[in-house]
């Protein structure tokens, strides 16, 4: 497949594909695959060839029940990957999936462009690091920690509450100096949500538009697909692609996926149907 020319994130027409590289031993679907530095670098470079618009490097699993990773270990897993990719001239934006200020700061210094925080700016040091760097920030909705998030999936109106909690997170980030135009929001599919709540959010993505920020959604291989279809985690690609298409039809700017070439195709076709136009020739 030909390499893409690499439109700058959120500056081209989109939709943008965020490829997942988890440098962890225990992530729910790709745990162990990218733990070694060389494997993580090769995985990111392969995703760039396959049509990703950015890659998301993670050093800590956030699946329900996952163990917390000490900051030194998370730094050791992530920072050398960013450094090596930048040294090799990697042409895509690099996102770092972390909730720790120290990790965010070090990754940004090493050349990351975006911090993807599944705790929506809970750590003031993370917000300060992003504010000082001019990087982008993803604020993802969740409640509690991996240890207790399943028991926190209690809402009267999941859509209204997720919107309100993301609005509070945006205010906290802006008060800490993050530029309003640098913030992306994410409803946090699978984080403190039941299958019915995930579906409600995916049906009502328009409600998140009230926040006035680009949207990111991460449905890839998640439990709700297994709950709907009975498919085990390594057989959820078709369900993932259905969710990717639904997100793109709803106008989501960024989709976070493990399977880049398949999601690229699904997203481009969905976008062409949505817009009634062929995608740009680079695709
Ligand atoms: N989902 C996961 C991790 N990070 N970030 C955003 N913004 N949105 C998501 O939906 C999201 C995320 C969980 O998926 P994965 O990285 O594959 O697994 P693990 O947390 O086990 O590493």
Looking at the whole model, is its pTM more than 0.85? yes
Average pLDDT per 10 consecutive residues for the chain, totaling 283 residues: 46 90 91 91 98 96 88 96 97 97 98 97 97 96 91 95 98 98 97 97 97 97 98 98 98 98 98 83 53
Q: What is the pLDDT of residue 127?
A: 98
Residue 233, exposed/middle/buried by CB under 10 A (0-12, 13-18, 19+)? Answer: middle
* The pLDDT value given to residue 5: 35
Residue 245 parent element (H or E): helix 237-249
97 pocket-lining for ligand 1 (C-beta < 6 Å): yes
Does 186 contact ligand 1 (Cβ within 6 A)? yes
For residue 280, what pLDDT is reported? 60
116 lines ligand 1 (CB under 6 A): yes
Strand partners, 22: 58
Closest by Cα among 264, 231, 243, 226 to 63: 226
Q: Out of 4, 100, 221, 222, which one is annotated catalytic?
A: 222
Instruction: List, in sequence order, every residue forming a beta bridge with 215; answer none if it has no partner.
Output: 185
What pLDDT is stored for residue 281 in this prediction?
Answer: 55
Q: Examine the residue annotation and report whether 100 is marked as an active-site residue of this protein.
A: no
Q: What is the DSSP track for 84-117?
A: HHHHTT--S-EEEE---HHHHHHHHHHT--EEEE
Q: Is 221 a catalytic residue?
A: no
d(CA 103, CA 96): 9
- In angstroms, the CA 94 to CA 245 distance is 24
pLDDT attached to residue 42:
97
How far does residue 188's CA lie from ligand 1's centre (Å)? 8
Query: What does the pLDDT read at residue 278?
Result: 67
Q: What confidence tens digit (pLDDT) does each residue in 19-40 have?
A: 999 999 998 888 888 889 999 9
Which pLDDT value is given to residue 13? 74
Omega before 278 within 30 of 0, i.e. cis? no
Residue 281 CA to ligand 1 center (angstroms) comes to 31
d(Cα 48, Cα 36) in Å, to the nearest integer? 19
């Amino acid at each position: 497949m030909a390499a893409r020319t690499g439109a700058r994130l959120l500056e081209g027409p989109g939709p943008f594909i965020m490829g997942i590289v988890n440098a962890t031993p225990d992530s729910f679907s790709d745990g162990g695959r990218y733990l070694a530095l060389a494997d993580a670098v090769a995985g990111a470079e392969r995703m760039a060839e396959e049509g990703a618009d950015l890659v998301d490097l993670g050093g800590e699993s956030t699946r329900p029940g996952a163990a917390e990773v000490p900051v030194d270990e998370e730094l050791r897993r992530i920072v050398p990957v960013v450094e090596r990719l930048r040294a090799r001239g990697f042409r895509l934006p690099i996102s770092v999936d972390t909730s720790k200020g120290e990790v965010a700061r070090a990754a940004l210094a090493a050349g990351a462009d975006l911090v993807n925080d599944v705790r929506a700016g809970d750590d003031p040091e993370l917000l300060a690091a992003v504010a000082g760097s001019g990087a982008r920030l993803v604020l993802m909705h969740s409640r509690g920690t991996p240890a207790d998030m399943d028991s926190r999936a209690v809402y009267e109106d999941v859509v209204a509450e997720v919107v309100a909690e993301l609005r509070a997170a945006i205010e906290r980030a802006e008060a800490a100096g993050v530029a309003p135009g640098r913030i992306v929001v994410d409803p946090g599919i699978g984080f403190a949500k039941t299958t019915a709540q995930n579906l409600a959010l995916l049906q009502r993505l328009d409600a998140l538009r009230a926040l006035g920020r680009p949207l990111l959604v991460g449905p890839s291989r998640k439990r709700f697909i297994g709950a709907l279809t009975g498919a085990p985690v390594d057989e959820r690609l078709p369900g993932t692609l259905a969710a990717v298409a639904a997100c793109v039809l709803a106008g989501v700017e960024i989709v976070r996926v493990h399977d880049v070439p398949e999601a690229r195709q699904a997203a481009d076709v969905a976008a062409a149907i949505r817009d009634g136009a062929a995608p740009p020739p680079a695709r």
